């Protein structure tokens, strides 16, 4: 194993002072596909699970449109504690949580990862990736001690502000799932894109 399991008493960065609880990833291990977001929000901090708030409901819509369910993917975040006022995690905070993210990726064993948003993409690929211009192919990157295909898409929270975002995320989920060999049920009558 490359890293340590998530530390529920972690004090590695200042985020520990404002959290209700640490929010580890959730899903099958091993998993063929891992989804990585930015950070827990208020609802995630309360419940201790990733993507259970408004962004989670939008992610569920995109998963459904792509013919997937939560129990087919492992879902986590770059940092495991909620930043104040839902701000972006700082480089120091991302670095402090890196060991836990790498452990989750190592334990999941997936060779395909979907970065949900620019913060997750940068954390996984090691450089800024404009999510609006992310191509249909994954970006090969050394992540958590293994070469992985990192697909990039919008963060589900963006779908509150961008027309067609749920469809864009669903398309990225479908591409990543197909590359990972995840069985998808027949797509909905509606096309993936909105």
Q: Report how many domains make up the chain.
A: 1
Q: What is the CATH number of the domain that holds 123?
A: 3.40.470.10
Is 110 contained in some domain? yes
Q: CA 185 → CA 66, 166, 178, 181, distances in Å?
A: 8, 18, 11, 12
Q: Quote the pLDDT of residue 2.
A: 47
144 falls within a domain = yes
Residue 48 forms part of a structural domain: yes
In a domain, 188, yes or no: no
CA distance 62 to 57: 9
Q: Can you tell me the distance from the alpha carbon of 171 to that of 180, in angstroms, rounded to the nearest whole number?
A: 14
CB atoms within 10 A of CB 162: 13
Question: Could you tell me if residue 7 is inside a domain?
Answer: no
Q: pTM score, two decimals?
A: 0.92
Q: Is residue 192 part of a domain?
A: no
In this prediction, residue 192 has a pLDDT band, given cuts at 50, 70 and 90, of low
Average pLDDT, stretch 69-95? 96
The confidence score (pLDDT) of residue 32 equals 97
Range of the domain at 57: 14-180
User: Per the domain annotation, does 75 fall within a domain?
Assistant: yes
pLDDT band (50, 70, 90) for residue 48? very high
- What's residue 1's pLDDT? 39
Residue of 186, 147, 148, 155 lying closest to 172 (CA atoms): 155
State pLDDT tens for residues 115-158: 999 999 999 999 999 887 776 789 999 999 999 999 999 999 98
Q: In the predicted model, is pLDDT for residue 92 greater than 80?
A: yes
Tell me whether residue 6 is in a domain. no
Buried b or exposed e, range 40-54, using 16+ CB within 10 angstroms: bbebbbeeebbbbbe
């Amino acid at each position: 194993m490359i890293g340590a399991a998530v530390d529920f008493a972690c004090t590695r960065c200042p985020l520990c002072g404002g959290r209700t609880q640490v929010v580890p990833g959730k899903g099958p291990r091993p998993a063929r596909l891992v989804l990585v977001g930015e950070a827990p929000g208020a609802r995630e901090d309360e419940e201790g699970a990733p993507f259970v708030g408004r962004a989670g409901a939008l992610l569920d819509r995109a998963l459904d449109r792509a013919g997937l369910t939560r129990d087919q993917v492992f879902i986590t975040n770059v940092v495991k504690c909620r930043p104040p006022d839902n701000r972006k995690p700082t480089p120091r905070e991302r670095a402090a949580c890196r060991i836990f993210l790498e452990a989750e990726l190592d334990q999941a064993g997936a060779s395909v990862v979907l970065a949900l948003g620019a913060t997750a993409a940068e954390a996984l690929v090691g450089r800024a990736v404009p999510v609006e211009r992310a191509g249909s192919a994954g970006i090969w990157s050394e992540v958590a001690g293994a070469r992985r295909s990192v697909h990039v898409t919008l963060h589900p929270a963006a779908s509150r502000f961008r027309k067609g975002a749920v469809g864009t995320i669903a398309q990225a989920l479908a591409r990543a799932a197909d590359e990972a060999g995840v069985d998808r049920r027949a797509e909905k009558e509606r096309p993936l894109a909105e």
